[in-house]
Chain A
């Protein structure tokens, strides 16, 4: 039996930042990672662009992760690698996790728990692709794992479905390694990935992006031989007669990420249907006292810098957690918002510097983002454009709004342009 103050589950950027922050705030910390090495998905994100906000440098994924790993190791924080959490339950003193690794089964008791479990990719089964079941259908992350960690090129000639950032990054990566990327097909009328990635990953290499298109069927016995693509209507339904076949040996899917929250759900943590992550207050504590969430398990971030930041917040408050009462009030997202984090505020806490993340539901030009408390504006910011792929971060002072549990707090976007 291991006893600790804070148990961090997940050794990616969120978990590393959370563990470092909890340690610096005086807590005894144990971190559990199911893989052999720390760093999470950044291990295979060998492209650059990480750390611009935090380090003002353009780092590759491994470089960004290893800066945290170096610090983490220097602090001597206890780590269990190749260790899987099979269950967690609440006890009178906090939490008890059952873990399994090469040494067998072990129990870990902690006062607070940080879930930094990241997210998973949506798979072909979740986007209803019809046809045979040949090999050669990969998620972008799997293709990235083969290429960047195993050094095996998974395709010579492929089609990419979905314009998520990992798909765009892989379009460039596979092209650099000599594969032919025939096109990126996106069912929505706007790209899912960051604008800069459309330019530096597709346009730079002459890879066409087909918006309002989808893959309707796959063909092939042992290995994929072709896919059928079609134009879609404004309800994203394939338009009959627009189908055509494309010969290729792989279909790579970049169709979205879903926060991984099985453990959270097993503990009765309330999940926000919009973020698919736990509903949290500004300390990133979930609906269950003592359980904190951060990184991509909380909501899918666009930049790792914000993942680390949320880890630090969760780590600090998890270290300080003593089970004081809280009185939460909802922060509601208006209809033009895809989501907002945090989803609640603790009226008894210091609410003078609340970091709020949000995404818009659609592409909006000239607009105003506004937060009101009981109809009174407490925060307003103008945006020349808002795009769903780009997460926005603001800091709001709620300390003089007379927050109570019956306050009506609402965040909305008002489109002021045409």
Chain B
């Protein structure tokens, strides 16, 4: 048995997980999302990453960004390297793509602020 804390919402259920592959049993979860999370943790743990990307604007040297959907946990630092290579040189709306299909993972790195439109 393995104990996994669900990070899907602030409730943070502590779940007991037994079994493997196609026969995983989850208890202690308050909702279905907990079960899905626990199963994913065993098979292919996924995470969101939020960061900042450099800009060419001195009043806003960095722009907040995140991945548009979860990425495999073991690719976090690979994606961070890509984010740290990028430079934004034009105003973006929040939701606009900064890096499309980053590292072929099928997710984009998107802006999370209208900051550059305001300065």
Which residues of A approach B to under 8 Å, CB–CB? 37, 46-49, 52, 58-63, 66, 147-151, 173, 176-177, 194-196, 198-200, 204, 302-303, 390
Contact = CB atoms under 8 A, between A and B. Distances in A.
A177 to B, nearest CB: 8
B48 A176 contact: no
Contacts of B43: none
B5 A46 contact: no
Nearest to A46: B64
Given A37-B118, A147-B52, A194-B10, 20 more contacts: A60-B50, A60-B64, A60-B66, A62-B64, A62-B112, A62-B113, A63-B113, A66-B113, A148-B62, A149-B62, A150-B61, A151-B52, A176-B49, A176-B76, A176-B77, A195-B12, A198-B5, A199-B5, A200-B47, A302-B10
B30 to A, nearest CB: 9
3 tightest CB-CB pairs across the interface, nearest first? Answer: A195-B12, A151-B62, A62-B113
6 contacts: A147-B52, A176-B80, A196-B8, A196-B12, A200-B47, A390-B12
Contact of B112 (A63, A176, A302): A63
A52 B10 contact: yes
Given A48-B66, A151-B54, A58 B48 contact: yes
B38 interface: no
Contacts of B49: 176
Contacts of B61: 150-151
A26 to B, nearest CB: 29
Contacts of A176: 49, 51, 76-77, 80
Given A60-B50, A151-B62, A303 B7 contact: no
Contacts of A303: 10
Contacts, number: 79
Contacts of A149: 62
Contacts of B75: none
Contacts of B76: 176
B62 A52 contact: no
B9 interface: yes
A48 B71 CA distance: 14
A148 B64 contact: yes
A172 to B, nearest CB: 9
A134 to B, nearest CB: 26
Given A60-B112, A62-B94, A194 B12 contact: yes
A16 to B, nearest CB: 15
B114 to A, nearest CB: 6
Contact of B6 (A46, A196, A302): A196
Contacts of A302: 10
B14 interface: yes
B73 interface: yes
Given A66-B113, A200-B7, A150 B62 contact: yes
A49 B7 CA distance: 10
A204 B76 CA distance: 11
Interface in B35-79: 47-52, 54, 61-62, 64-66, 73, 76-77
A49 B10 contact: yes
A199 B62 contact: no
A270 B112 CA distance: 39
A196 B48 contact: no
Contacts of B65: 46
Nearest to B84: A177
A252 to B, nearest CB: 18
B73 A204 contact: yes
Contacts of B48: 48, 58
A37 B47 CA distance: 30
A167 B65 CA distance: 20
Contacts of A151: 52, 54, 61-62
A199 B7 CA distance: 7
A178 to B, nearest CB: 8
A149 B57 CA distance: 12
B47 A46 contact: no
B85 to A, nearest CB: 13
A327 B47 CA distance: 51
A217 to B, nearest CB: 33
Nearest to A49: B10
A39 B22 CA distance: 46
Contacts of B73: 204
Contacts of A48: 48, 50, 66
A39 to B, nearest CB: 9
A200 B66 CA distance: 16
Nearest to B60: A149
Contacts of B99: none
A59 B50 CA distance: 10
B54 A46 contact: no
A46 B76 CA distance: 16
